Amino acid sequence: MRAAPTILHLDMDAFYASVEQASKPSLRGKPVIVGGLGPRGVVATASYEARRFGVHSAMPMAQARRLCPNGACLVPRFTLYRAVSDVVMALLRELSPLVEPLSLDEAFVDLEAGGVAFDAQGARATGERLRADIRAATGLSGSVGLAGSKMLAKVASEEAKPAGLLLIEPGTERELLAPMSVRTLPGVGPATGEHLRRAGITTVGELAEAGEDELVRMVGRAHGVGLYRMALGLDDRPVVAERDAKSVSVEDTFDVDLHDRVRIRTEVQRLADRCVRRLRSSGHSGRTIVLKVRRFDFSTLTRSETLRGPTDDPGVVREAAARLLEGVDTTGGVRLLGVGVTGLADYTQEDLFAQAAATLAAGAPGAGAETGDGAGESAPAAGGEGGTEGAEGGPATGGGVGGADRAGAAVAPGNSAPGDSAPGGPEDPGAGAGAVPERRWAAGNDVRHAVYGPGWVQGSGVGRVTVRFEQPGSPPGRVRTFLVDDPELEAADPLPLVGEEGPGGP
């Protein structure tokens, strides 16, 4: 716990929805809901306008539509979100070398380590300057919390929402925390909160008054001691600049349960390829392949196989995932599939074989060397039900944008951040050979028309697609409707929110 509030927590306001509003002028000031659009889709985030209707993240999209029937429901565009996040994180790294990202839109910063603030006055000035820089660079707003610890800085940023700044002066922590709900504290979820409520503890102040011994008796030593310290505002965790990735995974939830074994096998192969693309883009390889299957009755099975050495070979990962699938009973249907890789390394078994082969070739010209693929002995882990269900999207058909994949630090199968699909457009529904598949356009995706310029899909159906032609910084644009296979309409990359402008509209 520091004597000065020099730990900053930034949390962008309704990030995904705010990016959509900034890039689509006609949606500014209107309810926007981002998430999977299929029958089993889940809300990733909602704008503040939509939250007034009761819409919130992790809510089923069908329920969100009922609560807010006039809201704009859009698929997530993670390519754009990552690009905007990179801009924000670069601004944070200008303040300090110690920046701890928690997600695309949230991070801790140690201002003291960067030499930009050593007291409350300097910290407040730095926070205000950061908010202004983010607004200028992205057009978006963020909320800033400043305190002497990470926990309190996060609490402060939450209290500052939206678009505010709150600084907690050292010595005022207990007074500030006392009236807050126990659910404010990290690690207090619905189950712990209900357990405490039954014991008559609903606020942080009541938690502190209960005392450490009583909390240990109620929830166990490890959790009880931590809860008591947090209730007193004590948190000594440092800001950690780099956190090693533990796994990489992707998953898809399907609108309709899959029953056909061949189709299930095909989807697993496709997920394996997407997982390897993410693995390679992160500069890693992995030893353990994990398959996740959520069945029709919501029971979740995980199976894993450990290879002889780390690999990033798509063929090896596909084969391992296929072997794991053979041991899973899919009778009754499958609603979700996921493929992940754990035991990450920054080299591959194939690299080692290649080095050995090069050594042999140098020592004995013409001598051959046998190489392996790293898909060695399997050690299946005991599968079982479990895992948490993340933001589910729509159908995974053709690798489209319906599902939400997750990857990166500490991401195990069951954790989605969102997909490798093409940023813009049409999906191939996997029609049979010789058939001409109808192009499909998801609401919110970017397009470009040869005559009318850049725009975004408002909706599609019965062979038509409706597009609004506008771009960041322009007035609200006009709406036009085309045949879904109009040759002049094509998928496009997102335009930057601020800075260079795309070609003019109609």
| Structure-block tokens of residue 451 | 């005559």
What is the DSSP code string of 323-361? HHHHTS--TT-EEEEEEEEEEEESS-HHHHHHHHHHHHH
Kindly give, in sequence order, each residue whose CB lies less than 8 Å from that of residue 168, ignoring residues fewer than 6 positions away. 5, 145, 146, 147, 148, 152, 153, 155, 156, 176
Please pick, among 106, 112, 173, 350, the residue that the annotation labels catalytic.
Answer: 106
| Structure-block tokens of residue 441 | 């356009």
Q: Which of 6, 130, 152 is nearest to 143 (CA)?
A: 130
Q: Which of 305, 334, 336 is nearest to 322 (CA)?
A: 305
**Cα–Cα–Cα angle for 373, 375, 379, nearest 5°?**
160
Distance CA 466, CA 460 (A): 6
472 to each of 27, 248, 285, 364, how far by Cα in Å?
Answer: 11, 33, 38, 63
Residue 106 annotated in active site: yes
Cβ-contact 290, 401 below 8 angstroms:
no
* Residues tagged active-site: 106
